[in-house]
Amino acid sequence: MKKYFFVLLFILIAVFAHSQEQGTMDFNLSAGILSSNVFIDTTADLLTGILTFGQSNSKTRYIPALNAVFKYAVMDNWFVNAGFTYEYVKKQLLNNNGVVLDDQIHNYYNFAIGTEYHYVNSDIIQMYSGAAIAYTLHMYESNKGSNNLSYVNFQLDAFGLRVGKSLAGFMELGFGYKGILILGISYQH
């Protein structure tokens, strides 16, 4: 049985492993949920609630991480990319009686460079994995003042799937500044 599995796997790889040619360009727009920025913010809220013995909580509204990425194939199957991601969080800090203690607005701007390897390519289906590093500018405003923070961020995509020819839809699963689940559209030339 194992022997047949490996023969079938070899045939599938041979059929789908067309090279993504050097010089291919890709531009995509996407939205991601549960970014590393939101993860850190949510963890801080949980810890604040625990450390204040439930005397403080928050009402939070997030928009998904909005992503724009340009990719270029420097070699067959290997892309480098540059991208921008924006994320918005609005939060009200409340005491245990529901009285508003503070209104906060968080804007996250991520400027990134990265790479991807496309391990399956056919006329319609591409599968890939990738990684990126980003400079994150976190601009924060509240009733008590404002502050800007900056830090290094990342994105690791364990699995990406692009379906379509020149214009396609795609989905990525990973973790980082773009989110855990990213859905979008892509134009490839």
- Tell me the mean pLDDT per 10 residues along the chain, length 189: 60 48 93 93 77 72 95 95 97 83 93 97 94 97 93 97 96 97 96
Domain range for 177 is: 2-188
How many domains does one find in the chain?
Answer: 1
The per-residue pLDDT for 68 is 98
Report which secondary-structure segment, H or E, holds 11.
helix 2-16
The per-residue pLDDT for 15 is 43
The per-residue pLDDT for 88 is 96
The per-residue pLDDT for 16 is 44
The CATH number that applies at residue 21 is 2.40.160.20
Residue 17 corresponds to which tokens in the numbers above?
Answer: 């492993």
For residue 93, CA distances in Å to 97, 140, 168, 173 come to: 11, 14, 41, 31
Upper half-sphere CA count for residue 162 (Cβ side, 13 Å): 28
CB 143 within 8 A of CB 122: no
The per-residue pLDDT for 102 is 86
The per-residue pLDDT for 28 is 97
